[in-house]
Amino acid sequence: MEITNCIAVKALSDALQKNMAGVIRGKDEVIQKVVVSLLSNGHILLEDIPGTGKTTMAKALSKSISCDFARVQFTPDLLPSDLTGINFYNQKDGEFVFRKGAIFTNILLADEINRATPRTQSSLLECMEERQASVDGTTYRMDEPFLVIATQNPIEIQGTFPLPEAQLDRFLMRLSIGYPDEKGELEMLSARTTSDPLADLQAVCGKEEIIAAQKIVRDVKVSDAVKQYIIDLAHASRDNDKVRLGLSPRGALALMHASQAMAAVNGRDYVLPDDVKQVAPDVMCHRVLVKGHQIGSAGKTARDIVMQILDSTQALVR
């Protein structure tokens, strides 16, 4: 499939979503957001209770693309060098040789990321933001595309290390899969009675097509009025009296890039305010820190506040 315009990007997106929907039943909206993040060249944090399909979602995406995939189970004894790599002395050649770590892949599944220590978590910051890793004074570039899909369980806190705001800001979106509806759960049980659909999943595209699609997405037009709308949303989050930390400039940029991808997924080469509204909760909520930790004095969560901001902020687009 040749990717030359937004119509081709939409066709690629539809193929990926259809392929993944054969494994993850009844979660079309979440699957779409995962694909949008991929095309935005942004990382994903899947936060949900155990057993809802977080790891399966990551594997379904990786198997839908013909590219390298690595899974790392994060534990308290995981070291930064396990991720970035290490220089070891090769006695045969009489020199130090760099052995690449798990991050040198196309799609990295960081399973239960909050079980690793802050030191290990922080080793992902450089590669997530700058697509490179520095080891012993040498910088190594990541292969393209590069996507981190991290999972965590928000309920269980014993033996975990919560992600700091600086790390959360590296994730384009925080998504929750949630329980399937009755129809979706019935379809899942029927599909897995005698076999595992994930095991039979075939790739529908290669990494070259993903890279081409990402370049098309960055060329999607964003009018000055839409940019102003994004800025208004960012400032509204910062000026809210129930918010301790609002949307950062990096968050505003992430919101624009996600909106570009959503427009392309819908087959358009220009962004509408509706594209911004569609991705805003998943881009903004984990970047907005409510006073009183998780819940504000009026019992408002970050999502409640973001939804209020979206309702009260008008896009002046003619």
* pLDDT tens across the length of the chain (318 residues): 788 899 999 999 999 999 999 899 889 999 999 999 999 999 999 998 888 888 999 999 999 999 999 999 999 999 999 999 988 888 777 788 889 999 999 999 999 999 999 999 999 999 999 999 998 888 999 999 999 999 998 776 677 888 888 889 999 999 998 888 888 888 888 888 877 888 889 999 999 999 999 999 999 999 999 999 999 999 999 998 889 889 999 999 999 999 999 999 999 999 999 999 999 999 999 999 888 754 433 446 889 999 999 999 988 765
**DSSP structure string for 57-78:** HHHHHHHHEES-EEEEE--TT-
Task: Label the pairing between strands 69-73 and 243-245.
Answer: unpaired
Rounded distance between C-alpha atoms, residue 23 and residue 15, angstroms:
14
Stretch (H or E) spanning 89: strand 85-90
Taking alpha carbons only, the member of 160, 164, 145 closest to residue 115 is 160
The pTM (predicted TM-score) of the whole model is: 0.91
Q: Rounded to whole angstroms, how far apart are CA atoms 296 and 124?
A: 30
Helix 207-218, helix 28-39: angle, nearest 10: 80
